[in-house]
Amino acid sequence: MRSQIIILQGGEDVRKRTNVELMRTVYDLSNKKKILVIPWTSESDSKEFEYRKIFKGYFSDSGFNEVTFLEKFESEIDINNKISSVDVIYLPGGDPEILYREIKIRSIDSKLKDFKGIIIGNSAGAIILSRGSVIEKRFFKGFGLINFYVFVHFNLSENQNFIIEPNICIPENTWICIEQATRF
């Protein structure tokens, strides 16, 4: 039996490293001690470059021996090689529509579904790993690796009406972990 662990974060300020203990636990669970980041959550190259530096430092400080990034220009073979070389994949926060589109264009969604290891989705990343979410009355589609909808950055004090079920609400700086086992 092989498993996939999905960690959905409601939102984390990666600059402040508000979930550093979680990242250290993920490192401890990792056999390869390598993490792959899919950084495509913004149309701004300068913003993506800035966050790459933050992610590199964050994950290196959490113990990972290697922090790599998928590149939009890479071939399918290069993408497959990078995915097979790690046992942890990280999908950051940002614009879920951009992240969904860029992953779909490259057919990485099927690779995520088949990935046996740990996939972390922070905010936008959590949305696209789930069935989707509603943000400010706008629906964002997910790939359905988890069979429910998520509401990230959840704040109980706000009057939020949920129109889609099943759903789970994940407050800022919190996370949930789901282990899915498959038989061969």
- Span 135-169, pLDDT tens digits: 888 899 999 999 999 989 887 766 566 667 888 88
Please tell me the least confidently modeled range out of 49-53, 97-101, 166-170: 166-170
Range of the domain at 99: 2-182
- Average pLDDT value for residue range 103-114: 96
When the pLDDT of each residue in the chain is averaged and rounded to a whole number, the result is 91
What sections of 12-63 are H helices per DSSP? Answer: 20-29, 45-61
Number of domains into which the chain is organized: 1
Residue 97 in this model has a pLDDT that exceeds 90: yes
Residue range 49-53: mean pLDDT, rounded:
94
- Assess contact for 65 and 41: CB atoms under 8 A: no
Instruction: Report how far residue 37's alpha carbon sits from residue 92's, in angstroms, rounded to the nearest whole number.
Output: 8
Residue 19 has pLDDT above 70, yes or no: yes
- pLDDT the model gives residue 30: 95
- Rounded to two decimals, the pTM is 0.92
pLDDT at 182: 59
Q: What is the pLDDT of residues 57-83, one digit of tens each?
A: 999 999 999 999 999 999 999 999 999
In Å, how far from its chain's centre is CA 48?
15
Structural tokens at position 161: 């009406």
Residue 128, H or E segment: helix 124-129
Of 86-90, 147-151, 174-178, 179-183, highest mean pLDDT: 86-90
CATH of residue 64: 3.40.50.880
